Structure 1
Amino acid sequence: MYLDPDRIPAKSTPAAATDIELVYRSLLAIVASLDYIDGSGIGSAVLKQQYLISAWNRVTPWLIFFHDQFIMCRANYRPVDKMAAIRLVATLLFYVSTIGDKRGGTTLLTTPALYRPIAELWLLALKTKDKDVVCLSSPSGPARTTSFRVCGSFLVSVCVYDKSFMTILLELSGGIDAVTSAALNYVKSLRSMAKDPDIVSNAFKLELLVPVFSCCIGIIATMSMLDAAIREAYVLRQSVKEIFWALRVLQSLPLDREHMAEALAPSFTYLDFLLKRGDDPVSALHQALCAHAFETIVHISPSGPLEVKIVETDPRRINEAFFRILFRYSLDDKILSYVCKHVDAWSNNLGPIVRQDERLLDLWSKVEQTLRLYGTLRSKAETIWWPSPSERSWVLQCYCGGPAEDIRFRQCAGCQVVQYCSKRCQRDSWHSHHRLSCNILKAAVGSSTPHRMKRSLRLLAALEVAHMQRKWDNIWKLATAAQCEYPKDRERLVLELGLDKNDESVRPLRDYLFLFNGLSENEVLERISSAPRAQHEGLFLSVQSSGLTAAQPAKGGSNSKRKVADTLESTTRKFKVNPDEPDVTVQTGLYTVEMFAANLAIKYLINFIIVDNVIWTWYYDRQGTVQSLGIQDLL
């Protein structure tokens, strides 16, 4: 009778004091009975829960009234103390959120009328002292309390994926940035909370940290999906680093496997979202690595057989996905620099989830082998070595003539693309042709291309050279077979190197004409071969009388169909060679090739670096990630 919504006054006044007092005591009685249920676990719990469900339509309006009048202090006359009102409202809402029955939990708490109070409680909790206000006690056991901040975040976690709730939350907080900032601040505060002996020693409080942590990540991720500016701003605010540091802290606490798996899933999901949608995925991954994401992830094990609906959060799958991410982004110089320093420690400290799973262990072994190879090649990135056309030794074919060893290239300050082995080469190149092509190359690369990406290109170039050397016998067989299969295209074959799949193929040039904006095969070849031979530059491989052009498609990323292959061909002068095997001839000069490459780069997002006897080409997707690079071996 006392909970009749018709008895709710428009405003708290002395005239309504009696009704307010009676309702307050009635709600306290409900809390006491629920506390008793929670503590004893007796069979009557179901009946009491059913009573709360049936009475919820009468309880809800009074909770809203108490919240509005006494918690938010919108009434001048307040017979109920603010903290007492917080305890009452938050405890009832918190208990409803923990009821096991789906109808009694989510449905009751996600009543639209409660969205505003829940949002205001969460924002209020972030601004107040983190006091214990929610009490679930029983006569037969000790009182169980949790903090206002934890309670508020727990309530929000139930509603955060409802658009109506998010609209209200944004309205109350003052915008997307304020909500995201609040969630990130809580993640940051998790470290200090984990050091609180009162929390660490209380299993009830400890277990609540995980859903609250997950909720805050969910808010950050949701806001990032809604607003690209927020997404990028919070990457700059080190959101990924803070999240994985917090996950690391949670791992140090006495939490069971199930809770750690629950904490890992949203953390990795947020990182994966930034890698796929962010403008700077490399920075996001680098933040995660610096916060010991690898060490944390490999030591989180599944608690047991997982339900089908949550199988995607299985730590085994997350470990596998993370290894593949490492493999993909290790080509970036920034990531590889970090990986090279830690791969030994990682390999020596793999968690049981990896060591006990044969498939995962095999995957890690392959990734580790690749990382170590990349590290070795990276150490040689500043010095490029090529086989001499006349000797079986490794020397650098210098532009100014004569072999030289251990040369550190000089980079053009204008385009920041072309590199030279000496000041003399740079000066001669500038006066002969680079003065004209410098601005074109600068436009092709873009003024905002980070230096680390350009360093990555050198590594990728070394990878392709290593691939060709390792697979040369097979390449030769493929070229011979292609000449028989395509007799009309004997001099227009393209060697395609697939570094990601460790394979190669030889196909006609006509298969790649889609890259050249309607140009015919003859027009493509004419643009390259029209200049005098002395002006061509590249590593020329002559396969008897036919031309073979090395090209590499862009692999990886969310769209595997995108392909970049650059086909260039030239007639070359020949040295005396064994007719049964290809020879290597190096030529200098490059005005026509450089200009042609620069124009292609502008039209087709194909970028070229010309370093004396080498043409490097790479491709950026919309995120700025290096997707493909090949040394153009002009045959």
Structure 2
Amino acid sequence: MISATLLSQLPQDLRRLVRGVLNRSVADFEKLCDRLPGCSASELCILQPVLYMYLDPDRIPEKPTPAVTTDIELVYWSLLAIVVTLGYIDGSGADSPAGSEKRYLISSWNCVTPWLVFFHDKFIMCRANYRPIDRMSVIKIVTSLLFQVPVIGGNRDGTTGVPIIPILYRPIAELWLLALKTKDKDVVCLSVHSGAHITSFRVFGSFLVAECIRNESFVTILLDVSGVIDTVTSAALKYVKNIRLMAKDPDIASNAFKLNLLVPMFSCCVGIIATTSMHSAAMREAYILHRSIKEIFSALRVLQSLPPGGGSMVQALGSSFAYLVFLLKRADDPVSAFHQALRAHAFETMVHIGPSGHLEVQEEVEADPHKINEIFFLILFSYVLHNKILTYACKHVDAWSDNLGPIVRQDGHLWDVWSKTEQMIRSCGISRSGAEMTQWPSPSEKGWVLQVSRRLHCFIPADLSTYYQCSCGGTAEDIHLRQCAGCQVVRYCSKRCQRDSWYSHHKLSCNFLKAAVGSSTPHHVKRSLCLLAALEEGHMERKWDNIRRLVAAAQCEYPKDRERLVVELALDRNTDSVRPLRHYLFLFNGLSENEIVDCLSSSWPDPRGYLRQLFFCSVVTINDRYLSRQFLFSPRTALDMEIVPQSLSRNRQCV
């Protein structure tokens, strides 16, 4: 209630209107709202108690009826007066009239929100038969008050803004989806500040959704409202694409409002995509197929070229990187996701972001750009063992090294991490080109497979299959290759070839090829098997002296297993070890230790003499999609078990 002293400080016409409002006159309240734009800041501050006096949550009716029309209209004009006051009070600090009005709104927010929910439910969503207030007028009030929620980095006047509380989750979800569906036709645009700018509720609502979607109960409401959460993710991805196009606009630098909106909007949209992907595995995989990671890093690359002052690029980098890390940990096809990011210039973008604050990444690990660069280099280091990633990295490693940003060059530790990554890329490339092409079939663009020719009874490279003609008269184009269901590595041109191969040798080699592919990421390990075999051989040659010492020590430690020692080669680390075969039986799909020994010792010819060295066999370890260690039986030995018997058979036929 306003005191008589304060009331006396108002002009006479305002005093008369205030007395009418105090006597529940709807007409006088309407006139007061019309008079507010002409009031001074001090007069508006005096009027604040009057504007909030009818917002009593206890007076919210169960449903609108003619009997409560006056109460509803008084609340409507109260809310409208608050919106008008907030729009016309100027000030830059918490002690200014603007700060005073916003503090008043914050303190009364628990009275305002129940009425917002009532107006939204009954008059916007049309859940009431009796509606004394126009729908569009209510939309304007509700959306304008929701705009006071601080989701774009806080209010400029120093106040904290009103909070998002769970009671507002459904109105926010329904209004945003309504704006998306109608393209703001039924949801009016919002005046950001007095005469300053106009923004769409589709845009502003995205900030609200990005803030709320972290809460599981909001996701439940969103699912209930939209039916499928794909609507939300699809909208966010479209925004990312549109943001990239807007950032490319040559006139964007002259529009300060849009420029300041792009980066925060981008971060919110990436947050929506990441959160919905975490909520649903199907959604995660669907948006990998929609090339979400490519669109995100392509947009981030363009945003990076904008003039400074367009928002925190570190925050944008953090949200994008968090999404990438999540996909690498959870996606069914993490190699393709990482390849998408690389092709969208993720490397170039990350190493050029300047240090300007801190950010939150996956699992709430706080990191600066230096830390993000380090983690990205380590990810690249481990994924180079996949043929698709190595091929891309080898093409770009020179440019990457020449154009590294100041963050990397000024940080000794970071430079050391990159140097090791660069060395890994180059050494893997050399190993592949030097050993893979001469000892095993070549990889094609679609991935490497072993293809068996009935006529030649040997293996041919997949990229040369177009020149192959089988003895059955069919060419490679009209031969439907049959893949071995066991190892998923070898393919045959006919049933007969598959049957003959099985009885001649593949019955033996199948288990070992399967063990060489592993169980966690067989799709990409299968395509990288030649590369892994080449790396294994090169690793063995470089570390031979150390391996001899490890074997000698293991022979003393395991005297009963002297003839059954296995060398474990860490291709992406410098930690080799030697242990007995019995520690690796889990690789061989139920084969006993004696069965493995019999197979590898006597059941197939070994012209290279690998198994007559100091140890029984080797295994290799790499990181899988969960960043845990994956053990693979020696790719080199497994490939030889399949290829060498064929070569011997062909030589015997020639003799």
TM-score, with length taken from structure 1: 0.73
CA offsets per residue over residues 88-114 of structure 1, 9 Å max, x none?
Answer: 32221121335569xx968x5432221
CA spacing shift, 1:435–1:452, aligned 2, 3 Å: closer
CA offsets per residue over residues 454-509 of structure 1, 9 Å max, x none?
Answer: 34111111111111222223333433444455555443332222222134333444
Contact persistence 1:67–1:85 (CA under 8 A): yes
> Which is further off, 375-384 or 241-250?
375-384
SS in 2 for 1:51: helix
- The partner residue of 1:136 within 188, 192, 196 is 192
Contiguous gaps of at least 5 residues in structure 1: 387-399, 401-405, 421-425, 569-592, 598-607, 616-635
C-alpha deviation, 1:260, in angstroms: 0.9
CA spacing shift, 1:430–1:500, aligned 2, 3 Å: same
User: 2:270, 2:396 → 1: CA distance?
Assistant: 27
1:188 aligns with 2:188: no
- The partner residue of 1:550 within 605, 618, 623 is 618
CA spacing shift, 1:301–1:128, aligned 2, 3 Å: farther
User: 2:321, 2:377 → 1: CA distance?
Assistant: 12
SS in 1 for 2:332: coil
User: 2:581, 2:620 → 1: CA distance?
Assistant: 13
Equivalent in the alignment of 2:540? 468
User: 1:157, 1:60 → 2: CA distance?
Assistant: 20
AA matched with 2:504: H
CA spacing shift, 1:413–1:37, aligned 2, 3 Å: same
Equivalent in the alignment of 2:85? 33
1:43 aligns with 2:112: no
1:297 aligns with 2:365: no
Contact persistence 2:520–2:624 (CA under 8 A): no
Contact persistence 1:551–1:566 (CA under 8 A): yes
Equivalent in the alignment of 2:35? none
Equivalent in the alignment of 2:566? 494
Equivalent in the alignment of 1:539? 608
AA matched with 1:159: C
Contact persistence 2:505–2:642 (CA under 8 A): no
SS in 1 for 2:609: strand
CA spacing shift, 1:202–1:11, aligned 2, 3 Å: farther
CA spacing shift, 1:306–1:123, aligned 2, 3 Å: closer
CA spacing shift, 1:525–1:121, aligned 2, 3 Å: same
CA spacing shift, 1:169–1:281, aligned 2, 3 Å: same
User: 2:310, 2:255 → 1: CA distance?
Assistant: 17
User: 2:502, 2:326 → 1: CA distance?
Assistant: 48
User: 1:428, 1:150 → 2: CA distance?
Assistant: 62
CA spacing shift, 1:409–1:385, aligned 2, 3 Å: farther
1:338 aligns with 2:392: yes
User: 1:114, 1:407 → 2: CA distance?
Assistant: 59
- The partner residue of 1:170 within 223, 226, 230 is 223
C-alpha deviation, 1:316, in angstroms: 1.8
After TM superposition, list the pairs within 5 Å mapping 1:42-191 onto structure 2.
Answer: 43-44=95-96, 45-72=98-125, 84-97=137-150, 108-129=162-183, 133-138=189-194, 143-191=196-244
CA spacing shift, 1:56–1:328, aligned 2, 3 Å: same
User: 2:300, 2:635 → 1: CA distance?
Assistant: 48
- The partner residue of 1:269 within 303, 322, 327 is 322
AA matched with 1:549: C
Higher RCO (Cα < 8 Å, 6 or more apart): 1
Equivalent in the alignment of 1:328? 382
CA spacing shift, 1:350–1:516, aligned 2, 3 Å: closer
AA matched with 1:134: L
1:246 aligns with 2:315: no
CA spacing shift, 1:306–1:266, aligned 2, 3 Å: closer
User: 1:345, 1:322 → 2: CA distance?
Assistant: 17
User: 2:552, 2:398 → 1: CA distance?
Assistant: 43
C-alpha deviation, 1:543, in angstroms: 6.7
AA matched with 2:424: T
Contact persistence 2:374–2:414 (CA under 8 A): yes
User: 1:56, 1:311 → 2: CA distance?
Assistant: 33
C-alpha deviation, 1:451, in angstroms: 7.5
C-alpha deviation, 1:211, in angstroms: 3.5
AA matched with 1:147: S
SS in 1 for 2:356: coil
Q: CA RMSD in A?
A: 4.6
CA spacing shift, 1:503–1:437, aligned 2, 3 Å: closer
C-alpha deviation, 1:275, in angstroms: 0.8
AA matched with 1:433: S
> Which is further off, 406-415 or 507-516?
406-415
User: 1:609, 1:542 → 2: CA distance?
Assistant: 12
CA offsets per residue over residues 206-239 of structure 1, 9 Å max, x none?
Answer: 3343343333323322222222222211111111
- The partner residue of 2:643 within 605, 612, 619 is 612
C-alpha deviation, 1:345, in angstroms: 2.2
Contiguous gaps of at least 5 residues in structure 2: 1-52, 441-454, 456-460, 469-480, 647-655
- The partner residue of 2:272 within 219, 231, 236 is 219
Equivalent in the alignment of 1:318? 372
User: 1:377, 1:342 → 2: CA distance?
Assistant: 17
Contact persistence 1:414–1:439 (CA under 8 A): no
CA spacing shift, 1:517–1:461, aligned 2, 3 Å: closer
CA offsets per residue over residues 415-434 of structure 1, 9 Å max, x none?
Answer: 363599xxxxx999849704
> Which is further off, 279-288 or 426-435?
426-435
SS in 1 for 2:576: strand
SS in 2 for 1:479: helix
Equivalent in the alignment of 1:364? 418
User: 2:369, 2:85 → 1: CA distance?
Assistant: 39
CA spacing shift, 1:121–1:506, aligned 2, 3 Å: same
CA offsets per residue over residues 38-97 of structure 1, 9 Å max, x none?
Answer: 643351354333311222233223323443455445568877665554443222112133
SS in 1 for 2:641: strand
User: 2:518, 2:572 → 1: CA distance?
Assistant: 26
The alignment covers a number of residue pairs equal to: 552
SS in 2 for 1:506: strand
User: 1:223, 1:78 → 2: CA distance?
Assistant: 36
User: 1:437, 1:171 → 2: CA distance?
Assistant: 55
Contact persistence 2:482–2:491 (CA under 8 A): no
AA matched with 2:263: V
SS in 1 for 2:566: strand
C-alpha deviation, 1:557, in angstroms: 4.9
1:232 aligns with 2:324: no
